[in-house]
Amino acid sequence: MDAVATKKTTEIKPYKIDRAMVALKIGDTDDMLLSYINFLVKRIPIAAVQFIHILQKNTLQTNYFEEETRKVLGDFDLKEEVTNNLKQRVENIIPFQQERETEYLVKEGNPLEELIYQSKLNAADLVIIGQDTELIHHHILARNFLRKVKSNALVVPDSTLPRLEQILVPIDFSSYSLTALRTAVAINKSLEKKVKITCIHVYEIPNLTFYNVEKTRQELKQLIEKDRKLAMIHFLQEQVPDIKDRKYIKTELVVKEHFDIGYQINEFAKEHHTDMIIMGAKGHSKAELLMIGSVAERVLGINKVPTFIVK
């Protein structure tokens, strides 16, 4: 299999974030998300962080500003109160540091649309959202958000532990998986304590019995694995030019059996105690160029591991 990118690439530099945006619900699950972010900011350089909460329309805020309610509440400013609450919640977990610009923003509107608009307006290069693994609509929200957001995104499930020792990068030899791999290497270069990066390629054995091909399934499996192993070696050598970076990377081949690729990626992540999945937003097929890739959507739909989606 030929990799998409065949030209020698430039040296990979340590990862840094110029401007991160963190969406908070102002609820119990925020503490876990903030603890995870506190863990990250101590390891990955982040110049500025904006914490944002979206007040939904037709909720308590609308009633506050009805004429009769206004007479009772006077000059009460809900946005100011929520902003102060937001600031207090954050600073109880993430100590303020002068070298990092911190901003708190409360907006009213549709949470999905407003978050996407604000991420674009504020030129965020990474948007971080939490995910309640017990609520189906949270999975739908995450997928809808990732379809539309232009920046990289990190989805953090509520069961996440603040740990980063194993990174998993699904590889399908597309340009998106190339970017995901280089992002993983860049993150590793920024860490004082290096982590292990596993590149996984899930392949399928075609059913050729209809064509009377005289090859057993095991023979086909061996041929395909040989091809994919060579492709992985070629891919890594070209896209990660520094041998010192490649020493932290290992490759794994997984045959697609009865389950879809997204499911098998998640099962591999669970079995190998993966701490973060880094993957491209889209895959190799032409259909996936129209939206976030079906594999990425599937991973987000069932996973319990922080997932970094590279755009």
pLDDT tens per residue across span 29-52: 789 999 999 999 999 999 999 999
- The pLDDT of 295-309, averaged and rounded, is 79
Q: Which of 111, 134, 157 is the last residue before a domain boundary?
A: 157
Is the predicted pLDDT of residue 8 greater than 50, yes or no?
yes
On whether residue 5 sits in a domain, the answer given is: no
Element (H, E) at 143: helix 136-148
Q: Please indicate, yes or no, whether residues 181 and 149 belong to a single structural domain of this protein.
A: no
- 10 is a domain residue: no
**How many structural domains comprise the chain?**
2
Residues 213 and 301 in one domain: yes
Residue 245 vs residue 56, higher pLDDT: 245
Q: Is the pLDDT of residue 217 over 70?
A: yes
Instruction: Give the model's confidence band at 189: pLDDT under 50 very low, under 70 low, under 90 confident, else very high.
Output: very high
pLDDT at site 286: 43
Is the residue at 102 inside a domain?
A: yes
User: Is 9 part of a structural domain of the chain?
Assistant: no
- Is position 232 within any domain? yes
Is residue 7, in this structure, part of any structural domain at all? no
133 lies in the same domain as 174:
no
Structural domain containing residue 226: 166-310
Which comes out higher in pLDDT, residue 153 or 293?
153
Check whether residue 40 and residue 126 sit in a common domain: yes
**Predicted local distance difference test score (pLDDT) of residue 258:** 73
Inside any domain, residue 216: yes
Please choose, from the candidates 162, 171, 167, 170, the residue with its C-alpha nearest in 3D space to the C-alpha of residue 184.
167
Task: Decide if pLDDT at 288 tops 60.
Answer: no
Which amino acid type is present at position 89? R
In a domain, 2, yes or no: no
pLDDT over 60 (residue 180): yes
Q: Are residues 180 and 269 in the same domain?
A: yes
Domain end call among 123, 157, 191? 157
111, 243: one domain? no
Claim to verify: residue 204 and residue 240 sit in the same structural domain: yes
202: domain CATH number is 3.40.50.620
Strand order of the sheet with strand 17-23? 101-108, 46-55, 17-23, 126-131, 152-157, 307-310, 276-280, 166-170, 196-203, 249-255
| pLDDT at residue 74 in the model | 53
Q: Are residues 229 and 286 in the same domain?
A: yes
- Residue 211: pLDDT band by 50, 70, 90 thresholds? low
Higher pLDDT, 215 or 195: 195
Give 145's Cβ-side CA count (13 Å radius).
31
Looking at residue 70, its pLDDT comes to: 53
Same domain, 282 and 183: yes
Task: List residues bridging with 309 in a β-sheet.
Answer: 153, 279
Q: Which of 127, 157, 187 is the last residue of a domain?
A: 157
302 and 171 within one domain: yes
What is the rounded average pLDDT of the residues 106-122?
A: 91
Reading the block at residue 18, the tokens are 């110029």
278, 183 Cβ separation under 8 angstroms: yes
The mean of the pLDDT values for the chain is 83
Higher pLDDT, 19 or 62: 19
Amino acid at 254: V
Read off the pLDDT band of 4 (50, 70, 90): very low
